[in-house]
Structure 1
Amino acid sequence: MVAGPGRGRLPGPRLSRVTVLGAGSIGCFVGGCWQAAGLDVSFIGRPSFDRDIADHGLTLSDYSGWAASLPPDRVDYRTRPDTLASADIIALCVKSGATADAAREIATNGRPGTTVISFQNGISNVDVLERLLGDRFTVVRGMVPYNVAYLGDGRFHKGVAGVLYAEDCPETRSLAAAIGQSPAALKLSDDMLGIAWGKLLINLNNAVNALSGRTLIEQLRERDYRRVVAACQREGLRLLRRAGIEPAKVGAVGPGLLPWVIGSPNWLFRNIFMKSWKIDARARSSMADDLAAGRKTEVDYINGELVKLADRLGIRAPVNGRIVELIRNAEGGAPPLAPAALRAAVLGN
């Protein structure tokens, strides 16, 4: 459900400044689009991005051909949390494993009353933020449905269609209105937990893409890879039904149909479904980017969320559990798996 009534919070202070905390590929693209739309944005992130942006500025593009550029002297990118104290909105884009550290940084440097929007993968980040930030900050669940690739020299490319989501409340209404029409436009919902679970079911492809070593289009063309994704999704749907959780529709296909669509024969998938999805030829999953960069992945917050849910229900999640094991092997240097090899490793047939 979109544009619902919200929680009835009292309006916060007038929106005047946004700080993107964890400004990597997603954060730079989103914050850069918001600045291009006229918002006052600052960025906090890694020294490597700081150097590149200081030299080249921000260049933003997407699959449709849209592009925008911000010169270096217009981009306020820092490696220290200096601008948290002046932020009205903090867009949190750190990797899920860094959520607790980011919350402590916000608690120490942020201004009480600031709205923190979690644009992170997984389900449990908001719980961590609410526990550590308490009543001093307004924590809002958000969702990013697309991948952004860093092309070097300050260039960030959105390779997949979609708009951002956030919980409907006075602060996000002001933010959405200020952003307007943009490749990083913001859609509001009063069912963000359902949307988060719906997104997680789609994100189960991330690990398969990472294990394949291929672009998204190359990986999705192979039915054996898609069969593994479909098995992860079917297992996830069974767990959610057992837990009484209803995932929301995210994108063109509802949750119940996802495994059928993903696992369909090549002639049907390639000629019908894939043609309707806007995926850039360069697009890869964020998990694939993490493996390529030698970083720890977010598998614990995607497939691992289902493993944890199964544990709470007193049952097993063998398919998603096996994917977590294989990603751990890949983090340790194991090579990519061919389609039939991955199918055999996960499904045993």
Structure 2
Amino acid sequence: MARIGIVGAARALYIGSFLHLSGCQVAYVVSDSLRDEVTAAERILVSDRKDRRFEVPAEECQLLTDVAELAAEDVSLDFLIVSVKACATERLAESLKHMDGKVVIVSLQNGVDNTETLRRILPNTTVIAGMLPFNVAHLPNAHFHQASVGPVFLEDCEEASTLAQILIEAGMNTQLSGNMTGLLYGKHLLTLVNAIAALAGASLQEILADRTYRSGVLARCISEGLA
């Protein structure tokens, strides 16, 4: 049975729930408010666009609120999945120094520099780059819904092959890639549409359906980013 820690918010609870259901021992590190929400709901509810829907009882979830608790709880992990915002990566890495060289870290984050930040601060740790092309909506009462599609991508290496098999057995489509840098930059460029939608006061669907925005604005932003 794989022992996996996962740090983050909606995506962390979503991925962790699949791993838990497959028999993995999962330790979640989340905010106080998210822990309280799961406790009040008495479960984590997960759903996706394929009409999969299941619950994980709160009493079965090891919900921590500080990565230091991983050491305090004497949890020996095979993998630690990091799914925090890019701006929090350096602070998180500093707080993980007590685990340097003791666990394989997997970065499933937006942004392109997270893996290098983790490797710089944790030089004795194997750090695997990864990417989630889909988003997870945080709905009321600890409900987490995969609102778009795509496989989990992991950097092609021996340790990632092991985790990929675990994720596949848990029901998550997972692929190994020898070009994680390209994938991360590609997603980074595509997320420019979020800023365009915010400025236009329109939904992503409206922006992508409108040729003026799609080819006149988004395409130019991507071209400038590639330059």
1:275 corresponds to which residue? none
Distance in 2 (CA, whole Å) between partners of 1:200 and 1:125 is: 13
Greater Rg by CA:
1
2:97 to 90, 94, 107: 107
Over the aligned positions, Cα root-mean-square deviation in angstroms equals 1.9
Deviation at 1:29, TM superposition (A): 1.0
| Letter in structure 1 aligned against 2:208 | L
Pairwise mapping of residues 268-307 of structure 1 onto structure 2 (< 5 A)? none
Deviation at 1:175, TM superposition (A): 1.4
Output the TM-score relative to the length of structure 2.
Answer: 0.89
Output the TM-score relative to the length of structure 1.
Answer: 0.59
Distance in 2 (CA, whole Å) between partners of 1:44 and 1:214 is: 34
Contact 1:37 1:180 in 2 (8 A): no
Deviation at 1:195, TM superposition (A): 1.6
Contact 1:179 1:185 in 2 (8 A): yes
Partner SS for 1:121: coil
Distance in 2 (CA, whole Å) between partners of 1:111 and 1:131 is: 11
2:210 to 222, 241, 245: 222
Contact 2:100 2:122 in 1 (8 A): no
Deviation digits for residues 122-176 of structure 1 (CA, Å, limit 9, x no counterpart): 1111111111001x21111110101110001110001111011111222221111
| Letter in structure 2 aligned against 1:83 | L
2:40 corresponds to which residue? 55
Matched, 1:143 2:131: yes
Give the % identical residues. 31
Partner SS for 2:96: helix
Distance in 1 (CA, whole Å) between partners of 2:111 and 2:189 is: 10
Tell me: CA distance 1:106–1:186, structure 2 relative to 1, closer, same or farther (3 Å): farther
Matched, 1:83 2:43: no
Distance in 2 (CA, whole Å) between partners of 1:184 and 1:212 is: 34
Deviation digits for residues 280-333 of structure 1 (CA, Å, limit 9, x no counterpart): xxxxxxxxxxxxxxxxxxxxxxxxxxxxxxxxxxxxxxxxxxxxxxxxxxxxxx
2:175 to 187, 191, 214: 187
Which runs of no fewer than 5 residues in structure 1 stay unpaired? 1-14, 240-349
Which runs of no fewer than 5 residues in structure 2 stay unpaired? none
Tell me: CA distance 1:207–1:37, structure 2 relative to 1, closer, same or farther (3 Å): farther
Pairwise mapping of residues 61-72 of structure 1 onto structure 2 (< 5 A)? 61-72=47-58
2:108 to 119, 124, 137: 119
